[in-house]
Structure 1
Amino acid sequence: MELFEAIYGRRSIGKVKQEPIARETIERILEAGTWAPNHRLTEPWRFFVMTGEGRNKLGGAYAAIALTGEAAKESEESLTKAEAARKKAYRAPLVIGVAVEPQNRAGVIEIEEYGAVFSAVQNMLLAVHALNLAAVWRTGEPCYHPLMNEAFGLREQDRMLGLLYIGEPDMAPPAPRREPASSKTVWIEDGES
């Protein structure tokens, strides 16, 4: 697949078939992530590959997060909400959690660590597309919750930055929707101050 074709053709596709993805394919996706640019070569990403029953870890984290705050009362409604949250872990046969583990050393700027991991996610999404698979990058409050960190053994300063749900597509890709670059671009050229 040609580079620009991959960039322009990639879409978030949330409806996938439940057929397992080959380990070699998963390894190619992960390897693509590791080639993202990163300042000072810190490689601040951490990948959590969940397939089959391995998705129970994510399901348990979703359920525990759903039972915090007002929902902690363990009413029938709360338990129903927790079960619905648990099921989110099984929307695809492969889920890859992508976390940032910022390095705490001289010259390392934390926001650049996040940028590197976001670049890794984009590389992975493009690799998924090039492999004729489908993916959606899920984020949101549960992703950033301290109980998610706890479930995956992340330190307090670390963050789960996204969950990539991957499988064979089971829907047509949505139509593209992007503003042209010109609508978001300011040109500052020679002679301007």
Structure 2
Amino acid sequence: MWVRMSIAATIRERRSIRQFKEDPVPAELIIQWLNDAVWAPNHGLREPWRFIVAERAEARETLADLMVDSLSHLKLVKLIPGKIKQVMKAKISRIPAHLIVVMKVDKDEHKRDEDYAAASCLIQNFQLLAWEQGVGMIWSTTEYIRSPLFCDGVGVRPDERVVGVLHMGYFDKVPKPRPRTPAEQKLTIL
């Protein structure tokens, strides 16, 4: 049984999760979290985001193929044997759900920065909401999110960019926290 905790505790307890149980994360639950996460601050209420969910087996397999194939141009990935790439694809496709957060790319650099910050706030809201209900995730910004193969494959339009892919699922083990630098050590008071 997962216990509801304070906001401060949720922030401090949340971890990036890389190992998931096979239990499905229903699209309805993801939509519920998104409906709360969209309350993230966003300048001028531009709401620059949209979402792509892959939680059905076929969609997860397609997404896994796109992710690995989109990295094929990298020197390190070129050296990986085909059999290992297949193992990577299988591991990715077993992750219960993936949420791709996409944002509109404004021509104005200032608005673009504000929109990216807003989408990042939305992602953090989403992670905390899911964590509160026992679902963990890893926010991926790996190079494949900029690949035309990946973007075309998931339906990202030319005037958009992927902010990140959230790989998510229920989990058995919470990683130990890594230390954080106290704010006072990075604080300047004017």
Q: Which residue of 2 aligns with 1:161?
A: 163
Counterpart check, 1:63 vs 2:68: yes
Q: Among the aligned pairs, what percent are the same residue?
A: 29
Name the CA distance, whole Å, in 1 between partners of 2:80 and 2:177: 40
Aligned in 2, Cα 1:48/1:156: closer, same or farther, shift over 3 Å?
A: same
Name the CA distance, whole Å, in 2 between partners of 1:2 and 1:82: 41
TM-superposition CA deviations, 1:93-141 (whole Å, max 9, x none)? 011111212245x796111111111111100011111112211111111
Count of residue pairs the alignment pairs up: 185
Name the CA distance, whole Å, in 2 between partners of 1:30 and 1:132: 16
> Once superposed, what is the RMSD of the aligned Cα atoms?
2.6
Q: Which has the larger radius of gyration?
A: 1
Structure 1 position 71, deviation (Å): 9.1
Within a 5 Å distance, the mapping from 1:1-193 to structure 2 comes to 1-51=5-55, 52-68=57-73, 77=81, 79-80=82-83, 82-104=85-107, 109-188=111-190
Q: Is the 8 A contact 2:15 2:174 kept in 1?
A: no
TM-score (norm: length of structure 1): 0.83
Structure 1 position 173, deviation (Å): 2.8
SS state of the match for residue 170, structure 1? coil
Name the CA distance, whole Å, in 2 between partners of 1:107 and 1:187: 29
Opposite residue 180 of structure 1, the aligned amino acid is P
Any unmatched runs of 5+ in structure 2?
A: none
Structure 1 position 84, deviation (Å): 4.2
Opposite residue 99 of structure 1, the aligned amino acid is V
Q: Is the 8 A contact 2:71 2:143 kept in 1?
A: no
| Bigger mean CA offset, 122-131 vs 145-154 | 145-154
Name the CA distance, whole Å, in 2 between partners of 1:173 and 1:71: 27
Aligned in 2, Cα 1:81/1:46: closer, same or farther, shift over 3 Å?
A: farther
TM-score (norm: length of structure 2): 0.84
Name the CA distance, whole Å, in 2 between partners of 1:72 and 1:8: 35
